[in-house]
Amino acid sequence: ESDEDNCQMIYQKENYKKTVAPFLYDPETKISTPVNVVVSFVIEDILKIEEIDHVYTLKFSILLEWYDFRLTYYNLKKDTTANALTTPEVEKLWIPFVVFENTEKNEAVMGDSRSEVNIQREGNSTKSSRSLVEEINMYKGLENKIKFEQVYTKTFKCEYQLQLYPFDTQTCNVRMLIRRFEKSKIDLTPNEIFMEGDTVLTQYLVSYWNLEYINRTEKTDGIQLVVVMKRRIMNALLTTYLPSLLILIMVYCTNFFKPFFFEAIVTVNLTALLVLTTLFISVSGALPQTAYVKMIDVWLIFAQMIPFFEVLLHTMVDAMRNEEEREINHHGRTIPVVDGVAVHNGNGKENGGFLADIEDMPKNPKLAFTKDDISALNNIDEQQLVAARKAWYDSAKVNEVGVKIGEFTGKYIIPSFILLFSIFYWSYGLSYYFTDEYSL
């Protein structure tokens, strides 16, 4: 016998098969012992979180360690990095086929040119046969560990549970399995987990990570990396809750408008309802479509109901003021009032020469209005319109009990209901948000 190459590190028998796991078999008891593959994980970065597509992208290193009794190693060094295998040697080795089950195409760990494989010297050496030209220290594969490491960037599925959004905490994982026909020959054992990437992300705070069995009672089901991410709530507070709260405050302020500003009251509430509806659609469009209602949906739907009920309330109160002639509804048109603040002549113009319709200006060349004249007339028009409305409300027959109930409801009952709902809503959301279900 002679050594083919002084740099050769691995000796394999001719019957060595890289497709067969190095499990041990006892012919007397006919019991096979599966090879134990120890798995360690290094999270280098969480590159992307896509809630709409229910995926996230992870950059990580995986470290696999096992013993292969079928191999013999030559001249191993104490420094493990000095025992690195070449690509041709790696391609001849059996490498655990660990499947990433929650990737789209069930990607797996496989040795290639990017893999780093070293032999860790643990056992004692024996001297080579004297028939060899050079003396070689030989190490048994059963006593010296193979260490495989490779860096991956993969996209994994993650079912985001958004019922409590934006007070939610998401749990994503990397599920690692052995192929079904190899389960009796290979055991996966979780070992160490390291976090080298940032734990403060754009949308989340990474609060917990662990490497564990998927099923502690059935360890052949595989292992999983668990990553727990708590949402950063400040963005939702500033872009959704704060604007909606300010709008509700403005809606509440309409309860203190003078009664003859009924049109302004309705306009403010309807505008608030439109803005809140637009905000609700915008927030819903930025999140995955779900069959369940999220907490932020509850808040925005509740906020939309406030201006809606305010319009109904003020309409009901206004209807309790009875008067036969009521036609005040547009700028520039004074309406006859019971006691007659402005007299209507039937064609939309005022008697007494206060106003003339601008449309008549080309037909009446003697009218030479300047911009200042038109501005003054418009001011007079607005003043008369406000005076007419005020006179109507002052002289209208009022159901005083009903109006007082309506005003009390708008000023006290509705804001009290908003306050109670807000206390319950925020207590529930924040109590869950600050509850640590996981601890490192």
The pTM is what?
0.77
Where does residue 135 rank: exposed (0-12), middle (13-18), buried (19+ CB within 10 A)? exposed
* Segment 153-207, tens digit of pLDDT: 999 999 999 999 999 999 999 999 999 888 889 999 999 999 999 999 999 999 9
Tokens of 233: 């709530």
Question: What is the reported pLDDT for 138?
Answer: 87
- Count of CB atoms within 10 A of residue 360's CB? 10
Give me the helix-helix angle, 262-285 and 242-253, nearest 10°. Answer: 170
Length of the chain: 440
Query: Rounded to an integer, what distance in angstroms lies between the CA atom of residue 61 and that of residue 59?
Result: 7
Q: How confident is the model at residue 388 (pLDDT cuts 50, 70, 90)?
A: low
**In this structure, which amino acid lies at residue 117?**
V
**Residues whose CB is less than 8 angstroms from the CB of residue 396 and which lie 6 or more positions away in sequence, other chains included:** 321, 322, 323
**Residues whose CB is less than 8 angstroms from the CB of residue 41 and which lie 6 or more positions away in sequence, other chains included:** 60, 61, 62, 63, 174, 192, 193, 194, 211, 225
Query: Rounded to an integer, what distance in angstroms lies between the CA atom of residue 193 and that of residue 225?
Result: 8
Question: What is the reported pLDDT for 427?
Answer: 95
**Residues whose CB is less than 8 angstroms from the CB of residue 366 and which lie 6 or more positions away in sequence, other chains included:** none
Nearest to 33 by CA among 44, 41, 25: 25
* Segment 325-376, tens digit of pLDDT: 555 444 444 445 445 444 444 444 444 444 444 445 454 544 454 555 555 5
Strands 397-398 and 321-322: antiparallel
